[in-house]
Amino acid sequence: MHGIPDISPGDDLAALLVAGCAESGIRLQRWDVVVVTQKVVSKAEGALVDLAAIEPSSRARELAAIVGYDPRVVEVVMRESIEVLRAEPGVLLCVTRHGHVTANAGVDHSNVGGVELVSVLPDDPDASAGHLRSELLPLVDGGPLAVIVCDSFGRPFRVGTVNVAVGVAGMPAISDYQGARDTYDQPLQTTVLASADEVAAAADLVMGKVERVPVAVLRGLRWEGEETGVAPLLRPKSKDIFRRTG
Amino acid sequence: MHGIPDISPGDDLAALLVAGCAESGIRLQRWDVVVVTQKVVSKAEGALVDLAAIEPSSRARELAAIVGYDPRVVEVVMRESIEVLRAEPGVLLCVTRHGHVTANAGVDHSNVGGVELVSVLPDDPDASAGHLRSELLPLVDGGPLAVIVCDSFGRPFRVGTVNVAVGVAGMPAISDYQGARDTYDQPLQTTVLASADEVAAAADLVMGKVERVPVAVLRGLRWEGEETGVAPLLRPKSKDIFRRTG
């Protein structure tokens, strides 16, 4: 979707989304999934940090020396994190306070404006998605309608980032086929699909990184089952072979 | 796309795709990306193993006891692997001979038919994609047209599988924004997007796991740059913090 202006703290993102839909000739429909980048949500919510006001701790300075980052950025990353998984030159992999495992805990310079300003993930991305959803619901006669707040995450083993869901409202984050059988009536081996992550990935194909397309609408999906935010996508440490042994 | 019949070794998958397009009312267009599950490609190519003919090695028996699998399945997994990264109850994470890191090296029971038969990844998934592409090109006046062979992979840190590309032809597997600047003219932090993986993920949304939808067509994408198969998506061990330390 084009037509979304530059977002500033306090902006009514839902109203700007509605205007953007109109400008893009998109008429929201029932069963649409509206995917919004974390960046514009964070900006609208004022989830921005002025590095000039940050005094890095000694631990942040230590990590910054290892990683090669601005110590103030590392300080912000640490405030956003409950655990640092890896720190080495160019890599600072953290578990955010929400439970996402991502580089720099989602702290980001790009597309924020002003080199001294960084964005952090929304305080409660599920709530952010839920708020946007409730504002958009009247446009689709009360739904079904889903909203996903997304961010670009890197991945172990594979090169390149993919968009994933960091906040979900209005649809289940996963599709659970446990107990289902394949077309030969054999039990399925793969039972849990990361649907919301796949929706986020699909949205990224029209979002790009250079053009200003922070919102995408995915149409044609159907879902059933309970809506429980992004939590079903987050692997608890006790069940993560890479965090237990790492 | 519906209308793809059950595939058997030796079937002309390209011809069946063309027929499936016709039956589904899909007319392929230039710039389409045809996404095909590894499973039907493997079946058409006869990349199937009869477990009755497998004699597990002592190492396979050892691993099977740890993991809790049929030792013959573990033997097939080992033959498909260049490295076993993790073996513990219910988990056998391997690097396939193609360089993909995935559970059971892509060896799979489901949707193969016959409990004694497992499928393995195609011998050369890029070549499989390239072959299908060359057969489909005449339908779109010589292209551009891309074909992606996909499979469901689990992920560290996050619950649920996502579809990823295991073979790519006709488009670059990644979008490299290195040197690009954001809308505020700042250098982008995220420079490499895993485009082919995001296309595969998007396709999974219409493929499902229970219904027989092994092919999807993604329309509207544009790409530029060199086509080099799936290799750009594979992180070399030397640059993978989880394999160096794991």
Task: Fill in the amino acid letter for A157.
Answer: F
Q: For B57-106, write each residue's pLDDT tens digit.
A: 999 999 999 999 999 999 999 999 999 999 999 999 999 999 999 999 99
CA distances (Å), origin B200, targets A10, A161, B161, B190, B203: 37, 14, 12, 20, 5
B223 touching A (Cβ < 8 Å) = no
Residue of B147, B151, B171 whose CA lies nearest to A158: B151
- Indicate the pLDDT class of residue A241, thresholds 50, 70 and 90: confident
Domain ranges (residues) in chain A: 1-6+19-45+125-246, 48-121
Q: Which CATH superfamily includes the segment(s) B9-47+122-241?
A: CofE-like (3.30.1330.100)
CATH node for A1-6+19-45+125-246: 3.30.1330.100
Put simply, the chain B residues between 18 and 77 with a CB less than 8 A from any chain A CB are: none
CA–CA dist A151, A145 (Å, integer): 20
Structural class in CATH, domain A48-121: alpha beta
Mean pLDDT of A50-70: 96
Q: For A91-137, write each residue's pLDDT tens digit.
A: 999 999 999 999 999 999 866 666 688 999 999 999 999 999 999 99
Q: Higher pLDDT residue, A199 or A116?
A: A199
Interface test with A, best of B39, B175, B190, B237 (most A CBs within 10 A): B190
Interface test with A, best of B67, B95, B198 (most A CBs within 10 A): B198
Q: Do domains B9-47+122-241 and B48-121 have the same CATH topology?
A: no
- Indicate the pLDDT class of residue B243, thresholds 50, 70 and 90: confident
Helix (H) or strand (E) holding A201: helix A195-207
Residue A191 has pLDDT above 70, yes or no: yes
Q: What is the pLDDT of residue B188?
A: 61
Flag whether the pTM goes above 0.80.
Answer: yes
Query: Which of B101, B177, B195 minimises the CB distance to A157?
Result: B101
A38-45 vs A125-136: helix crossing angle, rounded to 10:
90
- Indicate the pLDDT class of residue B246, thresholds 50, 70 and 90: very low
Tokens of B179: 């040197």
Mean pLDDT of A27-36: 96
CB contact under 8 A, B111 and A182: yes
CA–CA dist A224, A219 (Å, integer): 16
Most confident of A125-129, B15-19, B175-179, B183-187: A125-129
Query: Which of A110, A177, A198 minimises the CB distance to B202?
Result: A198
- Indicate the pLDDT class of residue A184, thresholds 50, 70 and 90: low
Q: Is the ipTM of this complex over 0.90?
A: yes
